[in-house]
Amino acid sequence: MFYGVSLTAFLVALWLTLSGPFTLSGDYPIVMTVGVISIAATVALTFRMRIVDRETVPVGPMVPLFAYWSWLGGEIFKANLAVLRMVMKPEIDMEPRLIRVPAEQRTDLGRCVFANSITLTPGTVTVDIEDDGFLVHALDGEFTDPAGFAEMGQRSDVATDGRREAK
């Protein structure tokens, strides 16, 4: 129920942002009615699909997720500069690698965030998902530092799993 209310509140805020009239004069009652109908239909459909849970409505880990994203932004910036240097050098010198990165996140959401973070960082792309890790293609040996992957994995785990859910 908590997730249903959060989803509704989020959709109302999104609708008001994207097409929001804040008055009820003129044609706006019709626009407002259409908005209410579309939000109600979306919430009803997601409930019917039974996917309203912690994973689809991540309100719990929202604050840690934003903190994680700002840290990730810094990492992406550094990796971007590294790829930029590599690509713009007059003489390209690199050695692409395919490595296995262990993924020890406790939840699927954590694994998903970790895999996406690896792909989002230029120089490394998650190529395949295996049971206990990812197959990662790296542009050069300098992008395959195991400690860097371990830190990113640990941070993504903490960000998505700050509050364990009792099953």
**Site residues (vs another protein, CB under 8 A):** 14, 17-18, 20, 69, 76-77, 80, 83-84, 87-88, 90-98, 115-117, 119-128, 135, 137, 139
87 beta partners: none
124 beta partners: 138
Between residues 11 and 76, which has the closer beta carbon with respect to another protein? 76
**Minimal distance, residue 60 CB to another protein, in Å:** 18
Tokens encoding 64:
């840690």
**Minimal distance, residue 167 CB to another protein, in Å:** 26
**Minimal distance, residue 15 CB to another protein, in Å:** 12
Between residues 29 and 96, which has the closer beta carbon with respect to another protein? 96
**Minimal distance, residue 19 CB to another protein, in Å:** 9
Q: What is the dihedral of CA 85, 123, 153, 69, to 10 degrees?
A: 70
Closest CA to 11 of 38, 51, 45: 38
Closest CA to 118 of 136, 97, 99: 136
Between residues 100 and 167, which has the closer beta carbon with respect to another protein? 100
What is the spatial order of strands in the sheet that 133-138 belongs to?
97-102, 133-138, 124-129
